[in-house]
């Protein structure tokens, strides 16, 4: 069944008992939680996703719950549990939804190694993908959200999963994580953008998640890597797309990879194949509309 067929109350009951199996791309998460905010957020952000309550295999068993003891009541907190271990420090209970999203990302970035994993937004059009690696604050999530809202298919705003032959990028559909000013930018950019709860005072500032609006989030449609673009938002700057030398693109992409070093020779060979097949650019922008127009005019999508 789809999440949209369930009420918040039903989702909450499932989360508190058997948990729900949520499939995103090739991964299945079994999620449990006693927190109503988590149920509400799943209802909003994952409404098009298929869920089940069966006990079939799940890749990741996670739970968002208050800690035991007085912190359940006094300045209440939430913990992220992975296989009943706590990889992170607890956070204020108001941050539970952000903690769920970060924890889900952490599962893949930590434990999945059958791909070359790059910290990057990935979008697709006409079967070809653009990969946008970026350090926090570079403006990649804002650009990613804008492109998605204007017809590009979002594969991920956090993780590029590149096959070892570099022929495909595998989607791991998830909401787009927006931070601080970009929340208002995207709300103003498209009034139909659906945002989850706005979470304040996290270690990343104010955070909200944008519902993915792909036509189909329940099938794995792989794409061919075509471009790597290193975006940089700078207020009032002149928009500029500049070719990035291949060697520089290699190093910058490797720096943004979660497992390039761990994969060793395989990582090097895959990164070489990826850089070989992609056009690589630096991209400075300040206006979302003209930035999207520039993407639409790039050679693979012209």
Partner 1 sequence: MEGRNSVVQIAGRSGLLFSFWDEKEIIVYHLKSGDTHTVNPVAGEVLRVLNERLIASGDLYDLVADRMGYINDDEFRSYLDEVLQELSNIELLEVN
270-299 footprint of partner 1 as x/- string (CB under 8 A): --x--xx-----------------------
Contact between 247 and partner 1 per CB under 8 A: yes
Do 225 and 121 touch, CB atoms closer than 8 A? no
User: 75 exposed, middle or buried (CB, 10 Å; 0-12, 13-18, 19+)?
Assistant: exposed
| Among 69-77, 95-103, 230-238, 263-271, the segment contacting partner 1 (CB under 8 A) | 263-271
> Nearer to partner 1 by C-beta: 17 or 261?
261
> Nearer to partner 1 by C-beta: 54 or 265?
265
Contacts (CB under 8 A) with partner 1, residues 70-109: none
SS3 label, residue 83: coil
> Could you tell me where the DSSP H helices lie in 127-191?
140-149, 181-189
Contacts (CB under 8 A) with partner 1, residues 35-74: none
Q: How far apart are CA 245 and CA 253, in angstroms?
A: 12
User: 299 exposed, middle or buried (CB, 10 Å; 0-12, 13-18, 19+)?
Assistant: exposed
> Nearer to partner 1 by C-beta: 150 or 252?
252
Closest approach of partner 1 to the CB of residue 248, in Å = 8
273-277, long-range: CB within 8 Å, 24+ apart, which pairs? 273/165, 273/166, 274/116, 274/162, 274/166, 274/225, 274/228, 275/228, 275/246, 275/249, 275/250, 276/166, 276/246, 277/166, 277/224, 277/225, 277/226
| Among 21-29, 31-39, 142-150, 259-267, the segment contacting partner 1 (CB under 8 A) | 259-267
> Nearer to partner 1 by C-beta: 40 or 246?
246
| Among 60-68, 197-205, 218-226, 262-270, the segment contacting partner 1 (CB under 8 A) | 262-270
Query: Regarding beta strands 60-65 and 279-285, do their DSSP bridges make them parallel or antiparallel, or are they unpaired?
Result: unpaired
Q: How far apart are CA 264 and CA 269, in angstroms?
A: 9
- CB hemisphere CA count around 48 (13 angstroms): 14
> Nearer to partner 1 by C-beta: 156 or 253?
253
Residue identified by tokens 């039903």 is 10
Contact between 11 and partner 1 per CB under 8 A: no
Residue identified by tokens 């594969």 is 155
- Pick from 36, 90, 254, 294: which binds partner 1 (CB under 8 A)? 254
Q: Which residues pair with 233 in a beta bridge?
A: 285
- Pick from 54, 215, 236, 265: which binds partner 1 (CB under 8 A)? 265
Give the list of residues 6+ apart from residue 135 with CB closer than 8 angstroms, or none.
256
Closest approach of partner 1 to the CB of residue 227, in Å = 16
226-245 footprint of partner 1 as x/- string (CB under 8 A): -------------------x
- Pick from 251, 290, 293, 297: which binds partner 1 (CB under 8 A)? 251
| Among 6-14, 36-44, 130-138, 266-274, the segment contacting partner 1 (CB under 8 A) | 266-274
Contact between 250 and partner 1 per CB under 8 A: yes
Q: How far apart are CA 230 and CA 235, in angstroms?
A: 16
Question: Given the rule CB under 8 A, which residues bind partner 1?
Answer: 245-248, 250-251, 254, 261, 264-265, 268-269, 272, 275-276
């Amino acid at each position: 069944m789809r999440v949209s067929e369930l009420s918040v109350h039903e989702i909450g009951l499932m989360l508190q008992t058997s948990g729900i199996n949520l499939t995103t791309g090739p991964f299945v998460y079994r999620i449990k939680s006693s927190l109503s905010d988590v149920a509400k957020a799943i209802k909003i952000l994952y409404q098009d996703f298929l869920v089940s309550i069966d006990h079939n295999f799940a890749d990741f068993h996670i739970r968002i719950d208050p800690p035991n003891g007085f912190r359940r009541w006094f300045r209440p907190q939430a913990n992220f549990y992975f296989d009943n271990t706590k990889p992170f420090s607890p956070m204020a209970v108001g941050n539970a939804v952000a903690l769920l999203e970060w924890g889900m990302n952490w599962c893949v970035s930590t434990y999945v190694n059958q791909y070359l994993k790059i910290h990057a937004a990935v979008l697709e059009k006409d079967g070809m993908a653009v990969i946008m690696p970026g350090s926090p604050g570079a403006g990649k999530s804002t650009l990613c959200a804008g492109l998605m809202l204007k017809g590009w298919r979002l594969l991920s705003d956090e993780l590029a999963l590149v096959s070892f032959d570099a022929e495909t990028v595998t989607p791991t559909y998830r909401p787009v994580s927006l931070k601080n000013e970009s929340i208002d930018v995207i709300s103003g950019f498209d009034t139909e953008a659906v945002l989850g709860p706005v979470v304040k005072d996290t270690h990343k500032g104010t955070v909200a998640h944008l519902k993915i609006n792909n036509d189909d989030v329940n099938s794995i449609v792989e794409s061919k890597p075509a471009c790597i673009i290193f975006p940089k938002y700078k207020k009032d700057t002149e928009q500029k797309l500049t070719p990035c030398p291949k060697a520089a693109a290699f190093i910058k992409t490797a720096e943004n990879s979660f497992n390039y070093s761990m994969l060793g020779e395989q990582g090097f060979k895959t990164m070489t194949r990826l850089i070989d097949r992609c056009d690589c650019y630096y991209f400075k922008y300040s206006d979302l509309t003209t930035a999207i127009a520039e993407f639409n005019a790039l050679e693979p999508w012209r």
